[in-house]
């Protein structure tokens, strides 16, 4: 495996799984006051586009990483929307 591929994989794992502690914190505390709704709305939409891009270019790492991020960031978005009611 080339060095750049190793670095790219490390990057993908870090940015994908970084959302795990946020999801756990949000589920535990339900505190979403400091979290920006437009950020998560734009971010989850953008991850959806990355997923379509991965499917169109048949890129397994992009499909895998963005499927996981879509679910994780989606959970935070749902909690934020619920808190506004």
The residues binding a copy of itself (CB under 8 A) are 3-4, 7-8, 10-22, 24-26, 29, 31-43, 45-47, 49-50, 52-53, 56-57
Compute the distance between CA of residue 26 and CA of residue 52 in angstroms, rounded to an integer.
Answer: 27
Report the residue number, 45 or 82, with the smaller CB distance to a copy of itself. Answer: 45
Report the residue number, 10 or 71, with the smaller CB distance to a copy of itself. Answer: 10
Residue 25 C-beta: closest distance to a copy of itself, Å? 4
Residue 27, judged by CB atoms within 10 A of its CB (0-12, 13-18, 19+), counts as exposed
């Amino acid at each position: 495996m080339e060095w750049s591929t190793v670095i790219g994989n490390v990057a993908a794992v870090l940015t994908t799984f970084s959302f795990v502690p946020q999801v756990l914190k949000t589920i535990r505390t339900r505190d979403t006051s400091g979290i920006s709704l437009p950020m998560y709305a734009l971010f989850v939409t953008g991850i959806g586009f990355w997923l379509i891009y991965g499917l169109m270019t048949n890129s397994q790492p992009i499909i895998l990483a963005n499927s996981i991020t879509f679910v994780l960031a989606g959970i935070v978005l749902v909690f934020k929307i619920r808190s506004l009611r």
